[in-house]
Amino acid sequence: MPSNSILAQKQQIVADLAEQIKNSAAGVVVNYQGITVDKDTAMRKALRQAGVKYVVMKNTLTGRACDEVGYGELKQHLNGMTAIAISEKDPVAAAKVLKEYAEKIDSFQILAGYVDGNVIDAASVNALAEIPSKETLIAKLLGSIRSPLYSFAYALQAVVDKNGEAAPAEAPAEAPAEA
């Protein structure tokens, strides 16, 4: 039987992971079996740059952390060599980076995830990865707002230009002659 100090350490690890999961926007569980050290290092760097924390931990500890925050459904996916990627702010960042690596490496696979308080399957994680970034969506929105305004401005300018050329030039009014 493990000592009290070891149990306390494990409880603290579970509590810390549960806190990270609870405070995150989204997360993805992957099976990382078969990834080379070079590709794993590159993937971890890409995840860090995207603001995603990548955690490899015992499945039982990850499962307990998921239970604590209400994501018990994720436990069924915690078999074999699994890791969890936790994104604090951007709900699509982890899915995007991990999908890229899942496409490159046959044995690396996305198992499940969570977003907005709901557990989602691998197909939903892949669909989430297809969503454009926040900056791209904002640019598209602004472009769609700007386009009709520019069209309206061009139409008004065309009317002004057309009326300006078609109207005869007026001669300056002459002052009445004094007698």
Considering the domain architecture, whether residues 110 and 136 belong to the same structural domain is answered as: no
Considering the domain architecture, whether residues 63 and 138 belong to the same structural domain is answered as: no
Q: What are phi and psi of 74, to 5 degrees?
A: -70, -20
**How does pLDDT run along the chain (179 residues), one tens digit per residue?**
678 888 999 999 999 999 999 999 999 999 998 889 999 999 999 999 999 999 999 999 999 999 999 998 999 999 999 999 999 988 899 999 999 999 988 889 999 999 988 999 999 999 988 888 777 888 888 888 877 777 878 788 888 888 765 444 455 555 555 55
Domain boundary among 114, 129, 144: 129
Considering the domain architecture, whether residues 85 and 139 belong to the same structural domain is answered as: no
Considering the domain architecture, whether residues 138 and 94 belong to the same structural domain is answered as: no
Considering the domain architecture, whether residues 69 and 151 belong to the same structural domain is answered as: no
Q: Helix 37-49 and helix 93-104: axis angle, to 10°?
A: 160
- For residue 147, the enclosing domain spans 132-167
**Of the candidates 132, 129, 106, 86, the residue with the CA atom closest to the CA atom of residue 39:** 106
Q: Domain total for the chain?
A: 2
Beta-ladder partners of 113: 28, 120
Considering the domain architecture, whether residues 118 and 136 belong to the same structural domain is answered as: no
Task: Give the number of other CB atoms < 10 A from CB of residue 12.
Answer: 10
- Residue 55 belongs to domain with CATH number: 3.30.70.1730
Considering the domain architecture, whether residues 120 and 162 belong to the same structural domain is answered as: no
pTM comes to 0.72
In a domain, 179, yes or no: no
Considering the domain architecture, whether residues 56 and 23 belong to the same structural domain is answered as: yes
Considering the domain architecture, whether residues 147 and 84 belong to the same structural domain is answered as: no
